[in-house]
């Protein structure tokens, strides 16, 4: 069996025609028709009222926070168990991350822990829909209402995920997406900001493009950024949106095959809990015993299968360290493995991966 990577982008359909159109017309920077076409297609797919494309999912978060007016003196509640960009952008906005623990079953932030973390300085909650499973949005929206907090959804890993039929990213005051090469839909590097309030969206659009005055050339009325996406990236993104249903169906097929193929082993798959659509950005397993994680990953590597470990908790990293106990985050981060999850993975490859995992456990017993 050839090497099986964790991810490889699904570049099919109109991608070559659209990118060629950018090259032949010369529209290769951040102006051109694909920007608008991609943003409108994204709004139509997600149900978001307004979307603006940006250079990646990290600057999307930073832009969303700044456009909402979050800054020094503000606390933002965020799970410790997340990718570091969620936390870094809170720090970069000048605010303070306050960590909440996660739920073992879903891997998502625990609403009860969010409630306990609220202080008079809390300004916002950042809900991160990790590995494609939505957070408990009814509870989180309720907490934000009760305490008059802004809600930011980090949907970098959750394109195609739905809570009670509604796409993630449509619950918050603002939400962000990533289109890195390993994301469910990709633009190479890229991201999207969505916002409910037209004034917040207008601020995001203004800030992402150097704060350019709409009425006076080369006049910039605020300290701002160049966070723009290129037309080539948007051309790739449009072709990906056209394939979104096919990609998501492929991921659901893969997750179901892993669930069946790994049944009975000392681990569990990351299954949907509640009335949700799991987009399976990553198909993950959570081992019963943390000690098995690295030996199993070594075994898979030797057999030609790439994997990733779960994210280490942000509260333990040098620049974002915080006191406090986040036992579920700490435990999950030691027991989780992301398996190959790309939509073109074949049934034979999945069968081989499952057998390789089963062999490891049988050798141990």
Ligand X SMILES: Cc1ncc(COP(=O)(O)O)c(C=O)c1O
Binding footprint of ligand X on the chain (CB under 6 A): 56-58, 82-83, 85-86, 128, 154, 156-157, 178, 180, 191
CA angle 162, 68, 198 (to 5 degrees): 75
In the bound complex, what is the minimum distance in angstroms from residue 120's beta carbon to ligand X? 28
Question: Please, which residue, 85 or 257, has the CB nearer to ligand X?
Answer: 85
**What's the number of CA atoms in the CB half-sphere (13 Å) around residue 207?**
19
Find residue 100's DSSP bridge partners. 79
Question: Please, which residue, 238 or 314, has the CB nearer to ligand X?
Answer: 314
Question: Please, which residue, 58 or 333, has the CB nearer to ligand X?
Answer: 58
Distance between CA 171 and CA 241 in Å, rounded?
21
In the bound complex, what is the minimum distance in angstroms from residue 88's beta carbon to ligand X? 9
Q: What is the largest CA-CA distance in the chain?
A: 73
Q: What are phi and psi of 221, to 5 degrees?
A: -100, 10
In the bound complex, what is the minimum distance in angstroms from residue 56's beta carbon to ligand X? 4
Question: Please, which residue, 292 or 339, has the CB nearer to ligand X?
Answer: 339
In the bound complex, what is the minimum distance in angstroms from residue 78's beta carbon to ligand X? 10
Question: Please, which residue, 78 or 357, has the CB nearer to ligand X?
Answer: 78
Distance between CA 320 and CA 318 in Å, rounded?
6
In the bound complex, what is the minimum distance in angstroms from residue 14's beta carbon to ligand X? 23
Distance between CA 313 and CA 264 in Å, rounded?
29
In the bound complex, what is the minimum distance in angstroms from residue 279's beta carbon to ligand X? 13
Question: Please, which residue, 60 or 244, has the CB nearer to ligand X?
Answer: 60
Per-residue burial over 7-17, b = 16 or more CB atoms within 10 Å of its CB, e = otherwise: bebbbeeebee
167: Cβ contacts below 8 Å, ≥ 6 apart: 45, 46, 47, 48, 160, 161
* Residue whose CB is nearest to ligand X in the complex, by number: 57
In the bound complex, what is the minimum distance in angstroms from residue 91's beta carbon to ligand X? 14
Question: Please, which residue, 34 or 180, has the CB nearer to ligand X?
Answer: 180
The secondary structure of 192-209 as a DSSP string is EEEESSHHHHHHHHHHTB
User: Are 65 and 75 a contacting pair, CB within 8 Å?
Assistant: no
In the bound complex, what is the minimum distance in angstroms from residue 59's beta carbon to ligand X? 7
Question: Please, which residue, 192 or 292, has the CB nearer to ligand X?
Answer: 192
DSSP H or E run through 337: strand 336-339
Distance between CA 179 and CA 192 in Å, rounded?
8
């Amino acid at each position: 069996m050839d090497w099986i990577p964790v991810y490889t982008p699904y570049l099919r359909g109109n991608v070559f025609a659209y990118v060629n159109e950018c090259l032949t017309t010369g529209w290769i920077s951040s102006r051109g028709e694909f920007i608008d076409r991609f943003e409108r297609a994204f709004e139509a797919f997600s149900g978001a009222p307004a979307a603006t494309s940006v250079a990646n999912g990290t600057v999307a978060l930073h832009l969303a926070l700044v456009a909402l007016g979050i800054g020094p003196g503000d606390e933002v509640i965020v799970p410790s168990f997340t990718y570091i960009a969620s936390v870094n952008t809170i720090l970069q906005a000048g605010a303070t991350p306050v960590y909440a623990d996660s739920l073992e079953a879903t891997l998502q932030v625990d609403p009860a822990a969010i409630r306990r973390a609220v202080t008079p300085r809390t300004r916002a909650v950042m809900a991160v829909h990790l590995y494609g499973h939505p957070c408990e949005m009814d509870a989180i929206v309720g907490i934000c209402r009760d305490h008059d907090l802004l809600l930011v959804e980090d949907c970098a890993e959750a394109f195609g995920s739905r809570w009670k039929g509604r796409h993630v990213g449509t619950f918050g005051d603002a939400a962000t997406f990533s289109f890195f090469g390993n994301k469910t839909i990709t633009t190479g590097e890229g991201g999207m900001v969505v916002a409910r309030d037209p004034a917040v969206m207008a601020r995001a659009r203004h800030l992402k493009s150097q704060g350019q005055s709409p009425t006076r050339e080369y006049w910039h009325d605020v300290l701002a950024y160049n966070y723009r996406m290129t037309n080539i990236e948007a051309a790739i993104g449009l072709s990906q949106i056209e394939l979104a249903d096919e990609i998501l169906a492929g991921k659901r097929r893969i997750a179901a095959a892993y669930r069946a193929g790994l049944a009975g082993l000392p681990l569990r798959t990351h299954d949907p809990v509640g009335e949700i659509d799991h987009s399976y950005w990553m198909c993950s397993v959570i081992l019963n015993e943390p000690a098995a994680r690295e030996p199993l990953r070594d075994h898979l590597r030797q057999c030609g299968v790439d994997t990733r470990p779960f994210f280490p908790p942000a509260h333990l990293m040098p620049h974002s360290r915080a006191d406090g106990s986040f036992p579920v985050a700490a435990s999950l981060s030691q027991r989780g493995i992301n398996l190959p999850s790309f939509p073109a993975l074949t049934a034979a490859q999945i069968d081989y991966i499952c057998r390789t995992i089963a062999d490891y456990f049988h050798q141990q017993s």
